[in-house]
Structure 1
Amino acid sequence: MKLTDFNFPDKEIRFGSLLDIMRGKGFIFAEQWDYERAMFDLKMPVEGDPGVFYLRVPVFAVDGDIPGDETTVKLMTPILGRHYYPHGVEHGEEENFPDHIVDKCKQLLTSVDEEL
């Protein structure tokens, strides 16, 4: 599910600054990157739900290489997905996301947007 209510797409920021902001909000920057693209993930398990929800914020390099602190990156549209073992994360619009998960994502993204 794309979360389009935010001014993320096309915002540019230094990767080191973005990394600090995202880590402060609980996002991780792990092994899912190359020199041009990266993904910040926030894992949101829900007790009693077989799936695990992930809020993902993709970025791509405009000037420099990821993960350089001085690299300029452009943010893309955030995505909410649900992980199903063993298949992976599904981001489809037909997925039924609980309201409290969507609300939590919107609050986090608003908070990130304010710090950008």
Structure 2
Amino acid sequence: MIEIESSIEGKKYDLFKLEQILKPLGYTIGGNWDYDHGSFDYKIDDEVGYQFLRIPFKAIDGQLDARNCTVELEKPFLLSHKYQIGIDDHAEIGNASATFNQFQEPQDKDASFPDKYIDLGKSLVKELEQTL
């Protein structure tokens, strides 16, 4: 995990409006959300698992599954997950299988992040700062 300093940290937004801004940029709400916290994920690559930029947030007014929920953004970070090999004969690395593999416990949830994507992750955060 590589944390990225950003001016978006601590900013507050209506979750629905934030989602409307981030979805066209390629962000999705991560599958690891709960009623009081979650994240927006930007998939960078799926090289031997997957690498993504994660923008975590916490609910400060309301719950994530309710209307008019206000969230506060936390520090963005880059993260790699490496899938377990041999758990599922049908689990392959790729876009289509990622939907199913998201429920599989990663072999190494803190796998090293490829150096070649660090600058890309930082530029994505800069784009986000300008957009928000």
Both proteins in one fold, TM over 0.5: yes
Identity %: 26
Contact 1:16 1:68 in 2 (8 A): no
Report what 2:119 is aligned to. 103
Report what 1:90 is aligned to. 110
Long gaps (5+) in structure 1:
none
Higher relative contact order (CA 8 A, sep 6+): 1
Report what 1:77 is aligned to. 75
Contact 2:44 2:51 in 1 (8 A): yes
TM-score norm. by structure 2 comes to: 0.72
CA distance in 2, matches of 1:17, 1:107: 23
TM-score norm. by structure 1 comes to: 0.81
Report what 1:2 is aligned to. 3
Larger Rg: 1 or 2?
A: 2
Residues 79/36 of structure 1: CA separation in 2 closer, same or farther (3 Å cut) = same
Long gaps (5+) in structure 2:
85-106
Corresponding residue to 2:59 among 53, 58, 61 = 61
Q: CA deviation at 1:45?
A: 1.7
1:22-69 C-alpha deviation (Å, 9 max, x unpaired): 2121111143211100111112226xx424211111000011110334
Report what 2:12 is aligned to. 12
What value does the CA root-mean-square deviation take over the aligned residues?
1.9
